[in-house]
Amino acid sequence: MTAPEITPEEQVELDKALYDALNPLVAAVRSRETGLPAERMWDADPIEVALSALAAWKVVDVEVRRLTAQAAATAGSYGASYEQLGAVWGITRQGARKKWPDAVRRPTPVTADARTLALFGGTAELVQASSGDWSWTGKGADGASSMAGDGARYATAEEAAAHAGAFLKGHALDTSGRP
């Protein structure tokens, strides 16, 4: 996608919409600065009125920048790259990264992890796959072995540990050493 271009007619409509949106803000700024009612905003030095309009455009500029950053972050959260953001904005990938540094998140690679769980006289090995999912294999105190059933995968190590712990509890020995 490239930077959009608008027609002259669309430009006229955009200008009108922006001025219509800006006028109440200019009136409010003038009213606060002078203490005069909004309908008398033009009863002042033209420089002061023009500066009030400029101050209102500054407020709009800040809000447009905030909303633009929000739109870039939203696009980035859906998977847009800095190259795509830059193309839409008419700047380079590097320019987009500088303009919206937090818009695109790089996925952090999942590194495999393994943990050992010792409960009820048995042990279980919790293993994280490169996909980030967890599974387990275990050996109960009674010698029985098992693993996550039917290739089950768990979203967290805690969830895998809960399932492994239930297996270990079911295969514990009582205090006399019997299952």
- Top pLDDT among 71 and 32 is at 71
- Let me know if residue 26 belongs to a domain: yes
26 with 87, same domain?
yes
Element (H, E) at 60: helix 46-77
- Looking at the structure of the chain, the number of domains it has is 2
Which residue type does 44 have?
A: A
**The overall pTM is greater than 0.85:** no
77 with 121, same domain?
no
- Let me know if residue 128 belongs to a domain: yes
13 with 95, same domain?
yes
Q: For residues 80 and 96, is the Cβ–Cβ distance under 8 A?
A: no
Q: What integer best gives the mean pLDDT of the chain? A: 85
- Let me know if residue 107 belongs to a domain: no
Span 109-143, pLDDT tens digits? 556 678 898 988 999 999 888 777 888 999 999 99
pLDDT at 67 over 90: yes
- Let me know if residue 109 belongs to a domain: no
Helix-helix angle 82-89:46-77, to 10 degrees: 150
64 with 137, same domain?
no
47 with 14, same domain?
yes
- Give residue 164's domain range: 114-171
136 with 75, same domain?
no
| Residues 81-94 as b or e (16 or more Cβ within 10 Å = b) | ebebbbbbeebeee
40 with 94, same domain?
yes
